[in-house]
Every structure is written in structure tokens, then in C-alpha cells.
Structure 1
Amino acid sequence: MPPLDEHGNDLARITPDDVAWVSRQLGRPARAAVEVAARCPCGCPAVVRTMPRLPGGTPFPTSFYATCPRLTGAISTLESEGVMARMSERLATDEEWAAAYRSAHEDYLRRRAELGEVPEIEGISAGGMPTRVKCLHVLVAHSLAVGPGVNLPGDEALAMLPRWWQDGCCEATEEGQR
């Protein structure tokens, strides 16, 4: 078993500094993180990959979790502008787009299974995949973690985002600048 901290973070794959950084970003301890799956251009963690089961046993289907506050804020703005509803409507009318979304769902499940099977969430990915668009945060996080061409709705939402990192480090703290 890999070395874990008290919150189930895999210290063989994620550094204690990254765990501390993500915890500051979230305003709570990072839990079950196994790696920084994507970084902002400023170098700060933007997305962590998490175990499919949290310490204590709770199933956690969100394998790719956006942590950067500026990124998550920008995604929330898209959600408030109705992007999810428009994408969900598109699922019903664009078979090619819907097929790409089903493929993203399968990719998400496959990548989560690499970290362990959790029968309670078998076949359930995240973000509403594959039948509706429920959470752009998950879709963008998946796209950032695995690169373009895997999660088309995530890629499209990512392309709509402003440059959240543009004004400097996306998470300066009182403890210091990165």
C-alpha cells in the first residue's frame, strides 16, 4: 500500500507541497488525491485526480476535481449563463455530439477503474455523463487532465473560458506567492 497521509492522499504520487496547495485552494483538507492531473499556466494545481473511495469508505465518483479557485469561478459563470442547458438540449438533437459524450463517459469510467473498483458507483461517471450535462466543472477538469479530443463538451466549455490565470498566480495566499 502506498504511503498515505491522514486524509488518504497518496504521497507516493502527489507531493506534500501540492497537497498543501490544493488544501489552501479548497479551504479544507484535500482528500484521496493521487496526483495533480493538470496545472494552470502559472504552475499551481488546477485539477487533482482522486481515488474512487474517500477515506472512511464513501464512494466518490469524481475522479478529476477542479481545485483552482479562479478556474472554478470561471466555470461557475458559464453554468450560470445556461451553457449546461444548451449542451443538454444538444444531446437530444446531435447524434455525433451525443456519441462523443458517451465516449467521454467510457473514458472517465476506464480511468477511474485504474484506481480501483467501487461497486456502488459502477457505470456511473460524473458530470451527468452520458445522458445530460449536469456539471461543467467535472467536464472541464476531465478535459484538462486528459487533453483535447476525449471529452468534447469539456473541450467546448474550456474554449469558452477566459484566461483565468492571466492576472498572475491563480492562488496567491497570505503565506506567500507561488
Structure 2
Amino acid sequence: MPVSPQQQARVAELLGREPRGLAAIAVAGSGGEPVVIRVAALVDDKPFPTLFWLVCPRLNYRIDVVEAGGLIARLQARIDADPALREAMVEDHRRHIALRDSYIDAAQRQRLQQLGFAAVFECKGIGGIADFGRIRCLHTWYAAHLVEPNTVGRLLDEYWAASAPEDPAA
């Protein structure tokens, strides 16, 4: 379903700028408020491997707070120490690549090939990351998690559930 002019205006308001490559509202709140947007694979003839973008100010703030508090490093250490979590992350990236691929239509695929960018999407996972064992940004992981659950999003949910009474951003 195409993005309505009202939705586009609301996303622009949430981002503080006009959205580039806005393809869909991937997740909306109960009142229809955009939470996660889906972005086209090709924006202004440049590859855009970040499929989902978190636009909810409340969630963005909550993630800003925990990132500033060093949560990425703590989660990364936990993942590095656990082969099952590392493998789950690799699978998350593989599923994400397949999902992103499912949104690329024939015309976009042809243009990506003409521009020499087709291979970019074969090796870039959640948030456009190539190293499937690393967490680069909790925002992109959580945006993807709200569309299709993933390991890092689940760990973040667990962290929030365990720390909710102490979390000022909760």
C-alpha cells in the first residue's frame, strides 16, 4: 500500500526532514502513528541497505539512553562469549537479506545491476552491516526486530524488562 501524503508529512515531522526513499510504514502504533518505516533499496541512484528505520521518538530516546550507557559493548561481549547467540545473529542477517530482496522489484533490480550495486545487498545485513557478528547500532536492530524478531532486539527487550524500574527512559 502506498504511503499517503499525511503519512509522508508525519514521517517528515518525526525525522525533522523530508524522508528519502520512503517506501512504506512497516510498523504503526495502535493509533496509526508511524513507528518503523521501510526504505527503498535504491535512493537517488545510490544503494540504501538499511531497510528499516525507527522513527518513534520515544523508542529512539530509550535506545539513545542505553547506547550512551554502554549497552552495545555489554551486549557485544555477551554475544562474543556465546556461539549460539553469534549463530543466531548470522541467521538474523540472512533472513533480513532475504526479506530486503523480496521488496526489490524487477525495475529496481535492473537499475542496481546497471549501476554495479547488485552485490551490495548480498553481503549487507541488518543496518547495512557486513560483519554479521557485530552490533553497530541498536536503532537499526530494533527497527528490524519490530518487523521480524531478531536476536539483538530480543536481548534489548530482555534488558528493558530486567531494568525497567531503574530505567529513566522507560
TM class by smaller structure: 0.7 to 0.9
Shift of 1:23: 0.6
Give the % identical residues: 27
Shift of 1:102: 0.9
Matched with 2:40 is 51
Counterpart check, 1:109 vs 2:71: no
Q: Which among 49, 65, 69 is matched to residue 81 of structure 1?
A: 69
Shift of 1:62: 0.7
Counterpart check, 1:95 vs 2:95: no
**Which amino acid is the alignment partner of residue 131 of structure 1?**
G
Shift of 1:122: 2.5
Match of 1:114, SS? helix
- Name stretches of at least 5 consecutive residues in structure 1 with no aligned partner: 1-11, 167-178
Q: Which among 10, 13, 16 is matched to residue 2 of structure 2?
A: 13
**C-alpha distance 88-77 of structure 1, shift in aligned 2 (>3 A):** same
Matched with 1:119 is 119
Counterpart check, 1:137 vs 2:139: yes
Q: State the superposition RMSD in angstroms.
A: 2.4
Q: Deviations over 1:68-99 (max 9, x none)?
A: 12211111111111111112112221111111
**Which amino acid is the alignment partner of residue 141 of structure 1?**
A
Match of 2:123, SS? coil
TM-score (norm 2): 0.78
Contact 2:54 2:60 in 1 (8 A): yes
Matched with 1:157 is 156
C-alpha distance in 2 between matches for 1:75 and 1:29: 23
**Which amino acid is the alignment partner of residue 57 of structure 2?**
P
Shift of 1:20: 1.0
C-alpha distance in 1 between matches for 2:24 and 2:62: 23
Match of 2:50, SS? coil
Contact 1:104 1:151 in 2 (8 A): yes
Match of 1:38, SS? strand
TM-score (norm 1): 0.75
Match of 1:43, SS? coil
Alignment coverage as a number of residue pairs = 151
Choose 155-164 or 87-96, whichever is displaced more. Answer: 155-164
Contact 1:51 1:112 in 2 (8 A): no
